[in-house]
Amino acid sequence: MGWETITKAGRPGPPPNLDDYDKAYDRFRWDDARAAMDGLPGGRGLNIAHEAVDRHAEGPLADRVALRCLDRRGRVTELTYARLRDETCRFAGVLRALGVRKGDRVFTLLGRVPELYVAALGTLKNTSVFSPLFPAFGPEPIRDRLRLGDGKVLVTSPELYKRKIAQIRDELPGLEHVLIVGGGGDAPPGTVSYQEVMDDAAPLFEIPPTDPRDMALLHFTSGTTGRPKGAVHVHEAVVAHHATAAYALDLRQGDVFWCTADPGWVTGTSYGIIAPLTHGATLLVDAAEFDVKRWYRILEEQRVSVWYTAPTALRMLMRYGAGPARARDLSALRFVASVGEPLNPEAVVWGVTAFGLPVHDNWWQTETGAIMISNYASMDIRPGSMGRPMPGVEVGLLERGPDGRARVSEDGTVTVARGPEAEGELALRPGWPSMFRAYLHDDARYAGTFAAAGTSPGTSPAGTRTATTGSSRAPTT
């Protein structure tokens, strides 16, 4: 069936951050986006944790709630920006005392608890590399990622250690330190108590000089099509996290932002930790799994203004109809977005019925590090479309060869797929700050994601092609 365009003319709310797409796209420069970051004092470089925490903690936002965590029973733990600065300084100091240095890999295997967020940002302060693990993984996927990622430190819980780490610990000789969060008792043999070492650490830590090109984040792909790959991201990625959150999620200072993605995946780190904090927003975290009544209660009681979730979650909410949403006071909700898989048109339209707001689809992946294509607050929505390229990102749709990948000729040119119903492979020209810089320990695979290209009639100088989603409709339709 055909879907009518959802228009936004006359909708209430503040002016969008991106109010004129064509003008913004034409004028956008990544150097200008970089100017929105403070940089480390004294010109010592660019560090994600400083942009997300310290610059706010040392200014007028010091007493604003940065992190609001709901445990499974609904109990609330809040950390202001000043408190988050202190706790992340303590964790950075713990790492330094353990001999963990620049570039060393620090993994987390935790539920959505405050300690995970402290560990992530404290690791970045120490110029070590943060790598989150999805807590639903079994021992084997965890072992593989710790091995591939050269894990030196693991922060986990007593339960997860017992069920998933203890049995493989002997297979991980490079794993020197395991910090145990919670449990209320003695840490298991071969581990140390997170709380004890944090209590002994001072809330003072000077972030070392950080080159924007220094490795900061290590995200593993799912491994559904083979061995998981470790995508390397650098501190400069924060520039894209900040800019794309402003444009694609319409995020701003003072928002209460809820990203339902687990930090074990790239969405839960880029937009579930870093981006909202760079904007001075309050990041809402829920430790519980999906529950329709709980989710609507959170949206209402926490006065969520920007909500970033997944198509699967939206479809589960749709099963209950729009009634439960309309029975709640969701007047604070200004923007709803979704990512993770293609968003079906029915869900986009259902958002208008349930929330009075359409759901904004967007597209990106582990290797891009940030949103590349999006529907925007200022633009009408065609249900089923993932939107238009982010300012600063050049996207093309390339004709595919017999192998299903973009066809690259012998002289290195690629052909753009034409027409509103054309299908092909998405290609991105390099140059955005959050583009992955390597597949860890796999230079050949990384090189294989790029194709140099020249120009000729009817072709496009693609320059570089990253890993893609495969068959896709043109993003600009």
Q: Could you read off the pLDDT of 67-116 as tens digits, one per residue? A: 999 999 989 999 999 999 999 999 999 999 999 999 999 999 999 999 99
Contact predicate 347/338, CB 8 Å: yes
What's the predicted TM-score (pTM) here? 0.93
C-alpha to C-alpha distance for 380 and 378, rounded to whole angstroms? 7
Average pLDDT, the chain: 92
Note the CATH number of domain 21-374. 3.40.50.12780
By three-state DSSP, how is residue 88 classified? helix
Q: Is the confidence at residue 54, as pLDDT, over 80? A: yes
How does pLDDT run across 211-252, given as a tens digit for each residue? 999 999 999 987 666 788 999 999 999 999 999 999 999 999
Alpha-carbon distance values, 340 to 227, 309, 344, 364 (Å)? 20, 8, 12, 8
250 φψ region: left (φ > 0), alpha (ψ -120 to 50), beta (else) = left
In this predicted structure, what is the pLDDT of residue 32? Answer: 97
- What does the pLDDT average to over 124-149? 97
Residue 343 has pLDDT above 80, yes or no: yes
For residue range 306-329, what is the model confidence (pLDDT) as tens digits?
Answer: 999 999 999 999 999 999 999 999
State yes or no: pLDDT of 476 exceeds 50. Answer: no
Residue 373: φ, ψ to 5°: -135, 140
Does the structure show a pLDDT above 80 at 392? yes
One-letter-per-residue 3-state SS of 282-350: EEEEECCCCCHHHHHHHHHHCCCCEEEECHHHHHHHHCCCCHHHHCCCCCCCCEEEECCCCCCHHHHHH
Spatial CA neighbour of 428 closest among 466, 388, 398, 386: 466
Q: Is the pLDDT of residue 471 over 90?
A: no
pLDDT of residue 462: 35
The pLDDT > 90 percentage for the chain reads 82
Averaged pLDDT, 443-453: 79
**Domain extents for the chain?**
21-374, 394-477
Q: Phi and psi for 247 in degrees, rounded to 5?
A: -85, -50
At 359 the three-state DSSP class reads strand
